Structures are given as structure tokens and as C-alpha cells.
Amino acid sequence: MTLTEGLIRLIREKPVSDSDLHKTALFTLDAVANTIAGRNSIPGRKLLQWSENRPLDAARRAFVMGGLTHILEVDDVHRASVIHTGCVTVPVALSIAAERDIPGDKFLKSVLFGFEATCRVGMAVGPTHYKVWHNTATCGPFGSAMTAATLLDLSDEQAMHALGNAGTQSAGLWEFLATGAMSKHLHAGRAAEAGLVAAELAEIDFTGPPAILEGPAGFFAGACPDADPDAVLRDPDAAWQVHLTSIKPWPSCRHTHPAIDASLAVFEELEGGAIDHIEVETYQAALDVCDRPVADSEYEGKFSLQHCVAAALQRGKVDFSAFGPEAREQAAVLAKKVSVSAKEPYATAYPGSWGAAVSVILEDGTKVESAKPECKGDPEAALTDDEMINKARDLIRFGGVNDPNAVIDGILEMSQGGKPLDVGTVLAPAA
């Protein structure tokens, strides 16, 4: 049995409870809210402009929605695999449901299964993969294919072909960070599209490689120098990975969040006084992606530890406005006083825990510091249902929908058999 075949069997034999479906509905809501909000952005408007000039089949709908979901950098992330799961699964389910009569509980089960496949592959790629490859882009197609295979009622063999052909399309490089290009949105969209196309082809018995993961010319051999193949099937009786996925409260790269959390805690204790310098201790991956002393654009600000810390210390909050031109100008001087380094215990705790400590040293020598071993929104510091719903409500309004409650109620009612959301609600231009 190949790893892909074992993964499909593990997922399809794993019991699904009402609690699992409820949690999946909340994460589906988060993804849809991000999709709608993503329309109100420059890249989002460009994606919608592109889509208006050509017919959209299921795969292209998934591509556009996947890209929109990831634009504002406030969608979910599974920390052990470093993957944004909702943007590569929920758009696939929405797109298929637009053409087929899909019950709400089956819709949610397909998303749950997609999360599991994506995360299990992602936990196996090893840390070196992430230095060059964007895990959401490379591992996302496996989850996308698993979501589609569930909704299309593929057999185990057909699902294996779908995941095999999804995996052979894995791609997505970090080079875009050098210029702040819009490529990251393509990563999410293409991952969603690739898995859906692979599943549609498998439905008519278009074959794929059974050992796409562990084969001598497979995914691990080609892109994962320190892969841990056993992680794909490890702990089959553990909780579904959706329960181990984090929700982002701040609209920036997740690697900035522990430092933001610590900075906000410091802000509460600062009582004036001129700041001499700021020390941030975290883990190496955060530096690899977000060590950016100068943020020349909104997007660069979202990937700058220095800007995020400075903005949090100045404003006492981090929202969309914290990354605009005025906010970046206000934070620029303070950001230059921020030094970042990889230190214990955060360095070796990653990726199991994403933590940071922030120390603010005033000119009179006073030090105010805070340490956050986890991020707000992690399973250990999870948002409540109400907090997740309120976050979704704000995002949906940001996307131009005047009545967010209709979207929210429709998604949450799917676990009781309600119908999936009309895809037209998601893809309409922002008001």
C-alpha cells in the first residue's frame, strides 16, 4: 500500500462527530469571510476583473476563490504543517456545490477530509522544504483533491489517482517576497484548482501515480530533503487536524503574530517614556519570512516583524489600517529600533509552537517585556465561537456585504443539513 492509499483509507475510516462538523463549519465560515473580504483589495479586484472576461468552470471558480481567500493574510493556518487550509479546500467545495446538489453535512465532511489530507502531507515535508517552497501551494493540492474526491463520490482507487495527479502539480516558490509580488495569491488559487481538476479527471478514470509522495521520483524526493514520510499516517486516532488549526486574529503573516501578541501586552504596561530599542526573540522561520526592517508597501508591512511590533506598540491594536501608508510612515522610525533574533525556547519549539518574546528598553533603562509561547487563536489560546463569528462578520462587511448574518447563519446551519452558500454571493464584486 502506498502512502497515498493509506492516507485515503485513514481519512475515510476515521469517525466523524457532530463536534467535528461544527468546528469545520466555523472554519468554513472563516474561509468564506476571507474570500468575500479579499474582493476589497487591489489583487482581489484584479482577480475578479480577470474572471469577468472569460467563462468560469468549476476549476477556475476554485482558482479565483482560493486566491481571494488568501489575499488579506487573515485566513487560518495549521502550524505543524505551516499550511493555510481553508483557502485550498473551501473554494473547491463551494465551486462543486454550485453545479451539484450537495447536502450541507457532506459539504462540511469534504472540507474536513481536505484539511486532514493537506495537513498530514504538510507535516511530512520537513523544515527545509519551507525555506524555498510555500507549503500551502505544494501540499494544498492534496487537500483540494481530497475535498473534491469526497464530493464527487470517487472510489478509493479514483481518489488515489486524484491525489497522485494533484501532487504532480505541486509548486509555489517564496521568491515573490523579494519584491512583494502578488504570487502568493496564485499559490492558493492554483492549489485549489489543481486538486479539483485532478479529481474531475479521476472521475473518468484518468490515472495518476500511486506513490507520488514516497516514490523515487516523487514529491519527497524532489522537494523535501529532510522529509518525514511516516508523519503522513502517524497517530491515525488523533483528533482531526481541523481541531489543531489556528485562526488568525491579526491581518498579517502568522509568523508575526506571537510578536504582535507580546507587543500588545507590553503596550498595556507602557506608561510613556522614550523608547531606546526593542528586542524580539522568536524562531528562525519567522526571521526567514518576516525579517524586513523597512516596509515599503502594505504587503511588505504584513511580512515585517519590525513594522508589526512598532505598529502594535504605537497603536495598541493591529487591524487593516495598521498597514496603510500613514501607519507605515508613523511606525518607520520605531521599526528601525527593533532587532530580531532566533532564540530559545522558541527556536526548537517551532513548528509545534509558534512563540516570541518582546522587550522594550526605555532611554532611562527601564525594561518592559512579555513572552508569548503560543499565538492568540492557536488551539491552546483558541478563539471562542462568538469571537470567530464576530471576526467573520467584520470581514464580510469589509467585503461589501450589508447583511453578514445571512451568510453566517447559512454556513453554520450546514452541519444540520442546510444547503451550501450560493457561490454568486462570494464572487460578486465588492460593493
Residue 116 sits in a domain whose CATH number is 1.10.4100.10
First to last CA, the chain: 51
| 253 touches 73 (CB < 8 A) | yes
User: Given this model, what pLDDT does residue 53 score?
Assistant: 82
Q: Is 300 found in the same domain as 238?
A: no
User: Given this model, what pLDDT does residue 418 score?
Assistant: 78
Q: Is 369 found in the same domain as 389?
A: no
Q: What is the CATH number of the domain that holds 325?
A: 3.30.1330.120
- Exposure class string for 260-298: b at 16+ Cβ within 10 A, else e: bbbbbbbbeeeeeeebeebbbbbbbbbbebbbbeebeeb
Pick the last residue of a domain from 376, 393, 412: 376
Q: Is 160 found in the same domain as 83?
A: yes
User: Given this model, what pLDDT does residue 416 score?
Assistant: 81
Q: Is 389 found in the same domain as 320?
A: no
Q: Is 237 found in the same domain as 361?
A: no
| 111 touches 417 (CB < 8 A) | no
User: Given this model, what pLDDT does residue 420 score?
Assistant: 82
pTM: 0.90
Amino acid occupying residue 299? Y
Q: Is 47 found in the same domain as 170?
A: yes
Cell numbers standing for residue 314:
504605537
Q: Is 280 found in the same domain as 259?
A: yes
Instruction: Quote the CA–CA distance of 112 and 98 in Å, as a whole number.
Output: 19
**Which stretches of the chain score pLDDT less than 50?**
none
Q: Is 337 found in the same domain as 403?
A: no
In the chain, how many domains are there?
2
Cell numbers standing for residue 210:
500511486
388 CB burial (10 A radius; 0-12, 13-18, 19+): buried
Q: Note down the domain range covering 87.
A: 3-249+380-427
Q: Is 149 found in the same domain as 223?
A: yes
Q: Is 402 found in the same domain as 286?
A: no
Question: CB within 8 A of 44, min separation 6: which ones?
Answer: 38, 67, 68, 71, 430
